[in-house]
Amino acid sequence: MINTQHTTESVADMALKASPPASVSVATLAGYQINEILMWATLIYTILMIGHKLVTIWKEIQANSCKCKL
């Protein structure tokens, strides 16, 4: 008897492990260099983290200003 849940998890794990090398191979074949991909990924990640921090700071400011009005 085959355990389908175990098989599904194994397939998902294998796909997850294979995705970075596969995406690098596809990008290389498309003409992009790995350092360009990493540079853009780092830039996007940095912008997202700055945005997240700004939203957090904004929410703290809003929460503090509401407390002051009471």
Tell me the pLDDT tens digit for each residue of 1-23: 455 555 666 887 777 777 777 88
Q: What's the pTM value of the predicted model, to 2 decimals?
A: 0.56
CA-to-CA separations, 67 to 1, 37, 54, 55, 59, in angstroms, rounded: 62, 45, 20, 19, 12
Whole-number pLDDT of residue 2: 56
Segments making up each domain of the chain, as ranges? 1-32, 33-70
CA-to-CA separations, 34 to 20, 22, 45, in angstroms, rounded: 11, 12, 16
Q: Which segments of 1-70 are extended strands (E)?
A: none
Whole-number pLDDT of residue 49: 97
Question: Are 66 and 58 in contact, with CB atoms under 8 Å apart?
Answer: no
